[in-house]
A and B are shown apart, each in its own frame.
Chain A
Amino acid sequence: MIAALLPTGTTPLLAAAVASGTVSLWLLLPQAPGSDWLGHRRGALGLVLGVAALAALAWAGRRLGGLGDEAVFQIVSLVAIVGGAATVVTRSPVYSAIWFALALAGVAGVLLVLGAQFLGVATIVVYAGAILVMFLFVLMLAQPSGLAPYDRVSNEPLLAAIAGGVLLALLTTSIGRLSADPPACCTIPSRADAVATAPVGPAAADALAADPLARLGRELFGRHLLAVEAAGLLLLVALVGAIAVVSRGEVAEATRKGAS
């Protein structure tokens, strides 16, 4: 009967996962202690709800078929999600960054399962290897010790968690509706036609198995060559701009100090 109330595309299990995930996120987000009756219990409660949400989410997922695939996918996506959640809720920014590295590992795993080997490796190399390390430097530089007050409170955690929950519900419902029946207007009387006109789909996906890296390269430097050039420009402008901003800031700083 609950299912009847829910819109097509979502299930009670999924809805429960989203709801408990929302509450858990709210509980776990940094908040000033003593702000409500939950007190120190909120962390434990949040963890319990979070685990429940993850379990429900995993249970609500589709069965992938092979046990090996299934297990691998479950594990890497679990790592990604747990890492992501921990990034968001951990108070210390340094730990947060490290959790983010874990999430990246999970995402890389998901990408590998999805057959995007190059992207999986690139994610690790680009993010974990470059960006994250840079940010850790900055963190160490900027925050030598302890927790700053602004790390221990967050901005409107309840409203943000609700917003996130609503968005997640919307997204999962949309995803769930992908396997719904077509709208009444567009059911083609004869299924044979439908099959005949069916374009790429799961069947075409198998084509990916053959030499994906070469195909990706061909795509990138064939059709998307211009975009590659544009990306080069983007990197150039970011580099030059960043340096210019820094140097100008230094000049301004010097002028300010000289003036005072």
Chain B
Amino acid sequence: MPPNLPATLLVLVPLLPLLAGLVTIVFGRRLGPRVHMPAVIGIGAATGAALLLLVAAGGTGGGTHEAPRPAETTVTLWQWATIDRAIDPQPGSPAALPGIAVGSTDSGTRPLSLAVTLRLDPLTATMLLVITSIGLLVAIYSIGYMHDDPDQPRFFALVSMFVFSMAMLVASSSFLLVYVFWEAVGACSYLLIGFWFRRPEAARAAKKAFLVNRVGDFGLAIAVFLLWLTYGTLDFHDVRATDGTILPGILGQTRLADAGGFVGGTVGTLICLCLLLAASGKSAQVPLHVWLPDAMEGPTPASALIHAATMVTAGVYLVARCAPLFVVSPGALAVVSLVGATTALVAALIGTVQTDLKRVLAYSTISQLGYMFASLGTGTLAGFTAAIFHLVTHACFKALLFLGAGSVMHAMGGVIDMRRFGGLRAVMPITAATFFVGSLALAGVPPFAGFFSKDEILAALHARGWPDAHGGVHHDHEPAAGAPAAVRTARLVPSTAAPVVPAAWRSTAPAATPQAVGPLDWLAGAGLYRGLFWMSLITAGLTAFYTFRAVFMTFTGPLRLPPEAAHAHGGHGPDDAHGTHGHGQRGHESHGHASAPNAHGHTAAAVDAAASHESPPVMTRPLVILAGASLVIGWLLFATHGLGGFLAATPSLTAPAVVATRVPPAFHLDLAIQGTLAAAIGIALAAIGHLGRRSDAPSLERFLGPLQTLFARRFFFDEIEHAVVVRPLESLAWFAALVDRVVIDGLVDAVARVPAALGDIVRRGQAGVLQRYSLAGVAGVLAVLLALAWQLWQ
């Protein structure tokens, strides 16, 4: 590969979708039926470039036993702005990196340049490939899905702009740029959720998503400020000034090479918590997850792209990218894990009682993202790579599931309530089969993709909960606390070639670095991770349950179609599509066209099954491709341990404290069995409740199905199961949903309401009376004067 090629490709990956978006905006109407071409071609070419980049980013990675050398390429596009003085890190703090020339600090005029710099490393390459390839498949799928929508140009322009923003987000090499594109993807998401803005739900959901995300963005802004204050720069990479001195970037190799180069303690924990707040907002973690289920008001392909596969993983990316910052704050890491596991469990519980197919998937997304956070929170190399691994596999199968749901929705005339249709495997065989594959992957059934990645996450959690079980070495006799623990463990790695348990893993141990102890470090004990492991295991079972509940409700049982389905393909005129997509099809009321006589009854028998059919090939082919990927990708990546080794060369993951936690890749049979067992129980429960039943049967009337007599023996079992398992589970889930709706939503609303209430108070002052104003003004001035006089003369 020529030396300049990676840089060129790196620029091309975001540039091509940007151009595609601009072309679509400018020429949108003139392209007519080929309006999708720029987006598909642009994102397609970007996908090719991303594939090549994956090869280029390989660097020295791949070796499993020697510590990988960091691989990183940066390319600076232009200087955005230069500020003539940056804050220098406080002398004496770890951020100041003693012994390394930090620019011309003596004159106090070290310039801070805000450059637009892109970077290439394994993490970025992986993310870029996921973004562009899922984007490509979604764009192709949308050709079929959106083919009747009059606003196609806007849709494809937004998708292209989103791919551009997301690519820039993962490729930019500065916290400031990350912040800029963090907002940009939020804006794209806002516009796509509100795509059908004539529906008030969509507009409301868009606004909610934006406002909730602002809370997270606030966290990112504070984090950026704190990073700037602490490290004096915002770049990830090292910058070499003209005079040859190196300004170490926050995640640059100079700093990474120094074991004590990162600030822990209170400030470090605060930075990490702010970053976590940002990540929680974008990745829909408790308590900022409330926007994601509502975001399903957007077009299904957009949901698949943004709210399942890519944008919501930005938080995971951010935490993984900032791994060295987190590793020195075990307390913050513990909070990450805690938030993640809690989110996973709560969202899974809520998912079990949803009747809207897309909402089931939305809660499932929240839950799976929670898994990733739980894994990140372990702070081990295995945890970080497992999270990214799960991110990749989840992007595959969740996009598949969403697109499948979209296919169902497309065929059902916009109806997505699972109680209103059933037995669709007969009419939509390809969708049913691919959806089934996706569900197996999501449920974690071997050998599908989700199984491997979930297994790695469970293993990572298990390793933190039971260090001894993983061949950990106890350091009961710790050396003097002054010695840097990270260095110590790094020295141990080659000699023993055995996994080492950093001291911080035990609850009473000091922090991993010799500096200040963070305020939350007491959290990071083995006991916490044990609890989180069990939570995750339960979540795995719940995941399988709600996934297969949805599968059984949708695709098995007697064939039933909603009346709207007849209209879905009755005609292909734009008005028709507009009617079905554009106007409140989410409602339970029979909608359809007001003018068209509703000749179809509401029962399955009355619906002409022929009216509904499988989606066109342009929609099913992406499903098949994704299904194939979901089948093999987990096995491929796991068997070769390729991804883990590849990612280990990411500079962020070569921090000594991270490298110290390297363990040889292994397949944990016991964990695999536990995970599979949980999934099997979940599937079995779902099958008992829903397999072959009418999906609209209330839970008490389940036994009215046609197979009732044949399974008479199951009567007692069903009842017992219902009383012992289903009822408690349901009430728990309802309770979780209630808490979600009332408390957390209410809390978010309350946060929004406080300023408004304050505003109402302040507005009282604007009474319109001239002399009131002057009196109030003079009183204010007097207060200032008195305060000043008191301050000076006291």
Those of B725-782 within 8 Å (CB) of chain A: 769, 771-772, 775, 778-779, 782
Q: Which residues of A contact B771 (CB under 8 A)?
A: 155-156
Q: Is A163 an interface residue (CB 8 A)?
A: yes
Query: Within the complex, what minimum Cβ distance (angstroms) separates B789 from chain A?
Result: 6
Asked whether any CB of chain A lies closer than 8 Å to the CB of B483, the reply is: no
Partner of A163, one of B772, B778, B789, B793: B778
Of the residues B775, B785, B789, contact of A160 by C-beta under 8 Å:
B775
Say whether, besides A8-B793, A177-B793, A163 and B786 are in contact (CB < 8 Å).
Answer: no
Beta-carbon contact of B772 and A167 below 8 Å? no
Interface residues of B in 310-355 (CB under 8 A from A): none
Chain B at the A interface: SS class: helix
Inter-chain contact B775/A156, CB cutoff 8 Å: yes
Q: Which residues of A contact B775 (CB under 8 A)?
A: 155-156, 159-160, 163
* Residue numbers in B under 8 Å from A173 (CB-CB): 789
Residues in chain B near residue A167, CB distance under 8 A: 778, 782, 785
Tell me, rounded to whole Å, the shortest Cβ–Cβ distance linking A6 to chain B. Answer: 12
Say yes or no for A166: interface residue by CB 8 A criterion: yes
By the criterion of a CB under 8 Å from any partner CB, how many residues of chain B are at the interface? 11
B602 CB, min distance to chain A CBs, angstroms: 62
Report the Cα distance A163→B772, complex, angstroms: 13
CA separation between A98 and B488, bound complex, in Å? 92
- Whether A163 contacts B785 by the Cβ 8 Å rule is no
CA distance A170 to B771 in the complex (A): 22
- The complex places the Cα of A167 from the Cα of B780 at a distance, in Å, of 12
A7 close to B772 (CB less than 8 A): no
Cβ–Cβ contact B772 & A170, under 8 A: no
Tell me which of B769, B772, B782, B793 contacts A166 (CB under 8 A): B782
* Nearest neighbor of A164 in chain B, beta-carbon distance: B778
- Give Cα distance in the complex from A174 to B771, angstroms: 27
What chain B residues lie within 8 Å of A8 (beta carbons)? 793
A72 to B525, CA, bound (A): 87
Q: Contact between B779 and A7 (Cβ–Cβ < 8 Å)?
A: no
Q: How far is the CA of A166 from the CA of B783 in the complex (A)?
A: 10
The answer on a CB contact under 8 Å between A170 and B793 is no
CA distance A7 to B789 in the complex (A): 11
Q: How many angstroms from the CA of A170 to the CA of B789 in the assembled complex?
A: 8
Report which of B778, B785, B793 forms a contact with A7, defined as CB distance below 8 A: B793
Q: Which residue of chain A lies nearest to B783 when distances are taken between CB atoms in the complex?
A: A166
Question: A170: shortest Cβ distance to chain B, in Å?
Answer: 6
Contacts of A170 in B (CB 8 A): 782, 785-786, 789
Mark each residue of chain A from 163 to 189: 1 if its CB lies under 8 Å from any CB of chain B, else 0: 100110010011001000000000000
Minimum distance in angstroms from A31 CB to a CB of chain B: 15
Nearest-neighbor residue (CB-CB) of A160 within chain B: B775
Closest Cβ neighbor of A177 among chain B residues: B793
Chain B hits for A166, CB < 8 A? 782, 786
| A152–B217 alpha-carbon span in the complex (Å) | 57
Q: Which of B769, B772, B793 has the most CB of A within 10 A?
A: B793
In whole Å, how far is A78's beta carbon from the nearest beta carbon of chain B? 27
* Distance in angstroms between the alpha carbons of A9 and B778 in the assembled complex: 23
Q: Mark A134-178, 1 if CB is under 8 A from B, else 0.
A: 000000000000000000000110011001001100100110010
A7 contact set on B, CB distance < 8 A: 793
Chain A 113-129 residues near chain B, CB threshold 8 A: none
Tell me the complex Cα distance, A173–B790, Å: 12
B705–chain A nearest beta-carbon distance, Å: 78
How far, in angstroms, from A170 to B782 measured CA to CA in the complex?
Answer: 9
Instruction: Looking at the assembled complex, report how far the CB atom of B783 sits from the nearest CB atom of chain A, in whole angstroms.
Output: 9
Chain B: CB-nearest residue to A159: B775
Once the chains are docked, how many angstroms separate the CA of A168 from the CA of B304? 70
- 1/0 contact string of A210-227 vs chain B (CB within 8 Å): 000000000000000000
- Binary B-proximity of A1-31 (CB < 8 A = 1, otherwise 0): 0000001110000000000000000000000
Q: Which B residue sits closest to A9, measured CB to CB?
A: B793
A177 nearest CB across to chain B (Å): 7
User: Which of A9, A155, A174, A177 touches B772 (beta carbons < 8 Å)?
Assistant: A155
Query: How far is the CB of A145 from the nearest CB of chain B, in Å?
Result: 25
Which residues of chain A (86-128) have a CB below 8 Å from chain B? none
Which residues in chain B, 452-504, are within 8 Å of chain A measured between CB atoms? none
Q: For residue A154, which residue of chain B has the nearest CB?
A: B771
Once the chains are docked, how many angstroms separate the CA of A177 from the CA of B792? Answer: 12
Residue of B nearest to A173 (CB): B789
What's the Cα separation between A239 and B778 when bound, in Å? 30
Minimum CB distance partner of B785 in chain A:
A170
Residue of A nearest to B788 (CB): A170
Give Cα A163 to B784, complex, Å. 13
> Using Cβ atoms and an 8 Å threshold, which residues of chain B touch A9?
793
Contacts of B789 in A (CB 8 A): 170, 173-174
With both chains docked as a complex, state the minimum distance between the C-beta of A38 and any C-beta of chain B, in angstroms.
22
CB-CB nearest in chain A for B779? A163
- For B778, what are the chain A residues with a Cβ–Cβ distance below 8 Å? 163, 167
Chain B: CB-nearest residue to A171: B785
A160, B774: Cα distance in complex, Å: 10
- A86-B92 Cα distance, complex, nearest whole Å: 68
How far is the CB of A247 from the nearest CB of chain B, in Å?
A: 26
| CB interface residues, A 192-236, toward B, < 8 Å | none
A159 surroundings in chain B (CB, below 8 A): 775, 779
Q: Nearest residue in A to B793 (C-beta to C-beta)?
A: A7
Query: Which chain B residues in 226-272 approach chain A with CB under 8 Å?
Result: none
Minimum CB distance partner of B781 in chain A: A167
Measured between C-beta atoms, what is the minimum distance from B524 to chain A in Å? 51
A9 to chain B: closest CB distance in Å? Answer: 8
A residues less than 8 Å from B782 (CB atoms): 163, 166-167, 170
Separation of A155 and B770 alpha carbons in the complex (Å): 10
Given the complex of chains A and B, what is the CA–CA distance between A156 and B775 in angstroms?
9
Which residues in window 139-176 of B have CB below 8 A to A?
none
Given pairs A163-B778, A170-B782, 17 additional interface contacts (CB within 8 A): A7-B793, A8-B793, A9-B793, A156-B771, A156-B772, A156-B775, A159-B775, A159-B779, A160-B775, A163-B779, A163-B782, A166-B782, A167-B778, A167-B782, A167-B785, A170-B785, A177-B793
Q: Which chain B residues have a beta carbon within 8 Å of chain A's beta carbons? A: 769, 771-772, 775, 778-779, 782, 785-786, 789, 793
A/B interface sample: 14 pairs, CB < 8 A: A155-B769, A155-B771, A155-B772, A156-B772, A156-B775, A163-B775, A163-B779, A163-B782, A166-B786, A167-B778, A167-B782, A170-B786, A170-B789, A177-B793
Instruction: Report, nearest first, the 4 A-B pairs whose CB atoms are least far apart.
Output: A155-B771, A163-B778, A166-B782, A156-B775
